[in-house]
Amino acid sequence: MAGKKIKTLSELGEFELIRKLTDDIILRHPGSRKGIGDDSAVIDHNGFLTLVTTDLLLEGIHFDLTYVPLKHLGYKSVIVNLSDIYAMNGIPLQITVSIGISSKLSLGAIEEFYKGIKLACNQYDIDLIGGDTSASLNGLTISVTALGTAQSQQIVYRKGAKTGDLICVTGDLGGAYMGLLLLERENRFFKADHGYKPQLDGYQYILERQLKPEARKDLGRTLMGNQVKPTAMIDISDGLSSELMHICEASGTGSRIFADRIPIHPETKKLAGHLLISPVVAALNGGEDYEILFTISPEDYSRVQAMEGITVIGIMTEKTEGHLMELADKSTIIMEAQGWNANQRWAGL
Amino acid sequence: MAGKKIKTLSELGEFELIRKLTDDIILRHPGSRKGIGDDSAVIDHNGFLTLVTTDLLLEGIHFDLTYVPLKHLGYKSVIVNLSDIYAMNGIPLQITVSIGISSKLSLGAIEEFYKGIKLACNQYDIDLIGGDTSASLNGLTISVTALGTAQSQQIVYRKGAKTGDLICVTGDLGGAYMGLLLLERENRFFKADHGYKPQLDGYQYILERQLKPEARKDLGRTLMGNQVKPTAMIDISDGLSSELMHICEASGTGSRIFADRIPIHPETKKLAGHLLISPVVAALNGGEDYEILFTISPEDYSRVQAMEGITVIGIMTEKTEGHLMELADKSTIIMEAQGWNANQRWAGL
C-alpha cells in the first residue's frame, strides 16, 4: 500500500486493516505456534495443542433483532466460532461468552439468548467456562471465544496447498446469503405494511442456513476414518471466493474452479431465480455458510469422491495463473477478491 | 431470588444476572477444571493448566473517548485481562483482541489504540495471537481474551480462605476512582466553557491509575520467592468491598477489616478532601485499581510483613459474623455488597 493515501477504513477493507495493524507483531513465546492469519491460533504446551478463535457479533452489523430470534442468535454465536476450530481439523471443547446488553432487552430475552448458547453447547459437546456481562448503551454486543484441541500431526493450516491439489467443499453454498435476502425482503414489506404476512413457505432450508447454521463437526472424523489429511483448510464464513484466495495466498498458488461443480441447493437456486441473482455469485460472494473449503492431494481423489456431501470443485494451479472460474462453455472469468464481509460489514465506515 | 419478581436487569444487577444465566451449566469435559466463578477459567491438559479470562469494554459504559486517549485505552484493555490471570497466581502468555470500530474513528486512531495494545504486550511479555475486526454502528467495542499458565500446585482460587486467615492487599486503593472523578469534573467544566483549561496538576498519580493502570505482574514472583502461597486471591476491579465478599462467599467465611489500615495514596486523600468524599469509601466502592486482594495463613504473617507494598488490612472470621469494618474508635460498620461496577455500569439498563 506504500505511497497510496488511505482516507477511510472502508476503503482499506477488513483484511488490509488487520494487516496494517498486525504486520509488526512478533511472537515471543515458543508456545505461540501460530498467531494471526489462520482460522484459529495454535498454542503448544509440550506437544499438546490448544486452538483459540474469537468472533465479535454486533447488532446492526451482523444481525438485525427485528427478524432474528434471540435463541437462534445465541446458537449461531457459538457455531461461527466452533466452525473456526473445525477448519483447523481440531475439536472444540470450551467457549467463553461476553455480552453487552442494551436496555431494550428484557431478562426473558437474555435468557432466550442463553438457551441458544446452551443448546449449541449440548449439540457440540462444549463447556461454557467463562465470559463477561455488561450493560451496553448501543445495541447488543456479543463476543465469543472458542478453545479446542488437535493432535500436532492432524492440524491443517491454510498454507499447505500445492499446485495440482484438488479443491473440495462440504455441503452446499450460497444458501445462508439467499436466506438473508429473503428475510430482508420480507422485513421491508412488513415495515411498509404491518398487516403484511411474511411469505416464507418453501424456503425452510435457506432460512435455517441463515438463522440456525451448523458447523461441520463430522468432517474431521470422516476424513480421518478415510485416512485423508487435507493439505489446506478454511471455513467458508465470507464466501467461497474470498476463502479460496486466503488459501491461495497462504499457500502461494493460483486456483481454477468449475462453476457448474459448485454445490447449490434447489431452494438457493429457486430464490436466486426470483430475485434475478446468479446462484453462483451467491455461492462465491455470499457468506455465512460455515461449510469447509479444503484441498487434497490428487492421490486422495477416489477416497474423497466416495464421501457423502463433499464435492470436488476445482484444482490448485501455479500462482502466476491467478484465480479463474471456468464456465460451462469452457470460457473463464477472473475471480475477484472481495468477500461478502468486506462489502456488507464495512459499509458503515 | 425465588418468589421475587424481577422487572429490569439493573434491579437484578450483574452478579445475580450471571448466576441466573449460568446456574444450570454443567462441565462435560474433565479438562474443564474451573468454569464460571473465579478470575479465570482453568483448563487442564494432562496436568498442564491453561488459564482463560475475557473482558468486554464498551464506549459510554467503560470509557469516554472525550478524555481517554486511545493508546491508553488499548493498554488498559490488555491490563484488565492480565490482572485476572495474575489473580489466579498464574502467568499470562497470550491475548486475542477483537474490536468493533465506529465510523468516527480514523485509521490513525485505531493505530494509536493498537500502539497501546502492543506496548502492554511488550511490558508484560505477551503474544497477540488473534482477534476479530468489524465495523460498529454504535461506538467502539473492545473484547480481549487472555490466556495464561500456572502449575497446578501454584494456582490460587477464591475459595480457599479459612477463618483466622489474614486479609492482604497490594499497593493502594481508591486512586483509579478518584482519577475518574477528576477527569469527569474537568470534562464537565470544559464542556461548559471550551476556553477552560483542565486543572490536572498535582494529580499525576491518580490520573495514571485511571488512564494507564498496571497489573501486579510482580506479586506471584515475590510470594513464591518468600515461599508464601495465598489461601485465596482475587483482583480488585470493582472495589475492595465487593471483591472481599466474593472471596468470603466462595470460601464460606465472614470478614473484618480495619479502616485505618487500608492503604490510600496521598493524592487520593487530597482530591477526596476537596470533593468531600471519604477516601475509605473510594477504596471500598471505587473500582479499577487492579491491585490484588489475597488471604494468607497466619503463620505466613511475618514473611508477608517483610514484603514491600503489601498491607495486612484485616482477618477472615466465621461466616455468621458477617462483613464488618472496624473504625479507629473501635466501632464497627456493616459492609455492603454493592461494588462500583454494579452501580455504575448497569445504570443504563
CA distance B262 to B174: 10
**Are B31 and A93 an interchain contact pair (Cβ–Cβ within 8 Å)?**
yes
- Predicted pLDDT at B45: 86
Question: Which among B6, B22, B50 is the nearest to A50, CB-wise?
Answer: B50
Closest Cα of chain A to B346: distance in Å?
A: 5
The verdict on B142 touching A (C-beta cutoff 8 Å) is no
Nearest Cα of chain B lies from the Cα of A210 at a distance, in angstroms, of 19
Q: Which residues contact A42 (CB under 8 A, 6 or more apart)?
A: A33, A34, A49, A50, A51, A52, A88, A150, A155
Contact A348 B17 (CB under 8 A): no
Q: What is the dihedral of CA A86, A91, A92, A94, to 10 degrees?
A: -170
| Confidence grade of residue A18 (pLDDT, cut at 50, 70, 90) | confident
Across the beta sheet with A32-34, the strand order is A32-34, A41-45, A48-58, A141-150, A91-102, A127-136
Q: Which of B161, B317, B336, B160 is nearest to B254 (CA)?
A: B317
* Rounded distance between C-alpha atoms, residue B349 and residue A105, angstroms: 9
Q: What is the pLDDT of residues A224-247, one digit of tens each?
A: 999 999 999 999 998 999 999 999
Answer whether A58 sits within 8 Å of B107, measured CB to CB. Answer: no
Query: What pLDDT band is residue B48 in, cutting at 50, 70 and 90?
Result: confident
Q: Look at B28 and A348 and tell me if their CB atoms are within 8 Å.
A: no
Q: A122 in contact with B at a CB cutoff of 8 Å? A: no
Residue in A closest to B140 by C-alpha: A138
pLDDT (tens digit, 9 = 90+) per residue, B162-196?
999 999 999 999 999 999 999 999 999 999 998 99
Q: DSSP for B270-318?
A: HHHHHTT--HHHHHHH-----EEEEEE-GGGHHHHHTSTTEEEEEEEE-
Of B1, B88, B102, nearest to B40 by C-alpha is B88
User: In the structure grid, which three cell numbers stand for residue B168, read together?
Assistant: 492482604
* Interchain contact A346–B (C-beta under 8 A): yes
Q: Is the pLDDT of residue A108 over 50?
A: yes
Which pLDDT score is estimated for A198? 86
Chain A residues with beta carbon closer than 8 angstroms to that of B118: 24-25
Q: What is the DSSP string of A292-303?
A: EEEEE-GGGHHH
A118 lies within 8 A of chain B by CB: yes
A259-300 confidence digits (pLDDT tens): 999 999 999 999 999 999 999 999 999 989 999 999 999 999
pLDDT at A340: 43
Q: In what order do the strands lie in the sheet with B127-136?
A: B32-34, B41-45, B48-58, B141-150, B91-102, B127-136
How far is residue A143 from each of residues A81, A114, A131, A140, B56, measured CA to CA in Å? 10, 13, 9, 10, 8
For the cut 70, the answer to whether the pLDDT of residue A338 exceeds it is no
Count of residues making up chain B: 349
In chain B, where the domains are located: 31-150, 166-345
State the best of A17, A136, A157 to mutate against chain B, taking most chain B CBs within 10 Å: A136
Closest CB to A98: pick one of B25, B40, B56.
Answer: B56
**C-alpha closest to that of B127 among A117, A42, A243:** A42
Q: Report, as an integer, the average pLDDT of B240-252.
A: 96
Q: Residue B146: is it exposed, middle or buried by C-beta count within 10 angstroms (0-12/13-18/19+)? A: buried
Cα distance from B36 to chain A (closest Cα, Å)? Answer: 5
Cα–Cα dist B205/B316, whole Å: 31
Architecture of A31-150 per CATH? 2-Layer Sandwich (3.30)
Q: How confident is the model at residue B10 (pLDDT cuts 50, 70, 90)?
A: confident
Which of A6-20, A96-110, B243-257 is least confident?
A: A6-20
Instruction: Please give the share of chain A, as a percent, with pLDDT higher than 70.
Output: 94
Predicted complex ipTM exceeds 0.90: yes
- Region of B80 please: left (phi>0), alpha (psi -120 to 50) or beta: alpha
A348 has a chain B CB within 8 A of its CB: yes
Chain B residues with beta carbon closer than 8 angstroms to that of A33 = none
- Taking only Cα atoms into account, the Rg of chain A, rounded to an integer number of angstroms, comes to 20
Query: Do A9 and B100 make contact, defined as CB atoms within 8 angstroms?
Result: no
Contacts of A138 in chain B (CB under 8 A): 58-60, 136-139
Dist. CA B89–CA B83, nearest whole Å: 10
Q: Are A231 and A161 in contact (CB under 8 A)?
A: yes
Q: Which residues of B touch A342 (CB under 8 A)?
A: none
pTM: 0.93
Interchain contact A109–B (C-beta under 8 A): no
Give yes or no for B53 touching A (CB within 8 A). yes
- Residue B344 — very low, low, confident or very high, per pLDDT cuts 50/70/90? very low
Contact B9 A96 (CB under 8 A): no
Residue listed under C-alpha cell 491438559: B45
Q: How far apart are CA A342 and CA A12, in angstroms?
A: 10
Contact predicate B313/B172, CB 8 Å? no
Tens of pLDDT along B268-284? Answer: 999 999 999 999 999 99
> Exposure of A69 by Cβ count < 10 A (0-12 exposed, 13-18 middle, 19+ buried)?
middle
CB-CB neighbors (< 8 A) of B107 in chain A: 6, 8-9, 12, 17, 20
* B48 in Cβ contact with B33 (< 8 Å): no
Cβ contact, residue pair A17, B98, below 8 Å: no
Q: Do domains B31-150 and B166-345 have the same CATH topology?
A: no
Contact with chain A for residue B193, Cβ under 8 A: no
- The Cα A95–Cα A234 span in angstroms is 20
Q: How far is B108 from chain A (nearest CA, A)?
A: 10
Beta bridge partners, A55, equal A144
C-alpha dist (Å) from residue B5 to A108, B2, B9: 12, 8, 11
Chain A partners of B11 at a C-beta cutoff of 8 Å? none
Residue B301 has pLDDT above 60, yes or no: yes
A93 lies within 8 A of chain B by CB: yes
Cell of A185: 425482503
Task: Say yes or no for a CB contact (<8 Å) between B28 and A127.
Answer: yes
CA distance A143 to chain B (A): 7
Looking at the complex, report in whole angstroms how far the Cα of residue B247 sits from the nearest Cα belonging to chain A: 18
- Of A51-55, A223-227, A344-348, B327-331, the one with minimum mean pLDDT is A344-348
Name the residue among A288, A145, A272, A290 with its Cα closest to residue A217: A290
| Confidence bin at A347 (pLDDT 50/70/90) | very low
**B48 in contact with chain A, both atoms CB, cutoff 8 A:** yes
Characterize the bridge pairing of strands A232-236 and A310-317: unpaired
The C-alpha atoms of residue B162 and residue B86 are separated, in whole angstroms, by 21
Alpha-carbon span B129 to A36, nearest angstrom: 5
Task: Show residues of chain B in contact with A93, CB under 8 Å.
Answer: 29, 31-32, 43
Q: Give the C-alpha separation, B57 to B42, whole Å.
A: 23
Of A56, A60, A131, the CB nearest to B137: A60
Q: Is the pLDDT of residue B342 over 50?
A: no
Query: Nearest CA to CA, how far is B345 from chain A (Å)?
Result: 6
CA distance A50 to B31: 12
DSSP bridge pairs for A170: A310
Question: Is any Cβ of chain B less than 8 angstroms from the Cβ of A53?
Answer: yes
DSSP one-letter code for B63: B
Q: Report pLDDT for B337.
A: 63
Give the cell for residue A102. Answer: 442494551
Place of cell 458503515: A348
d(C-alpha A348, C-alpha A335), whole Å:
25
Residue B12 pLDDT exceeds 80: no
Distance from CA of A26 to the nearest CA of B (A): 7
Is the per-residue pLDDT at B1 higher than 50? Answer: no
Q: What pLDDT, in 10s, does the model give residues A158-194? A: 999 999 999 999 999 999 999 999 999 999 999 999 8
Whether residue A43 and residue B129 make contact (CB cut-off 8 A), yes or no, is yes
Residue A285 to residues A328, B20, B58, B249, Cα–Cα distance (Å)? 19, 41, 31, 52
Residues of A with Cβ-Cβ distance to B99 under 8 angstroms:
56
pLDDT at position A1, please?
A: 36
| H or E element that contains A95 | strand A91-102
Residues of B in contact with A110 (CB under 8 A): 9, 17, 21
- The correct answer on CATH 3.90.650.10 for the domain covering B166-345 is yes
Q: How far is B180 from chain A (nearest CA, A)?
A: 19
- Reference B85, options B38, B44, B125; nearest CA is B38
Contact with chain A for residue B21, Cβ under 8 A: yes
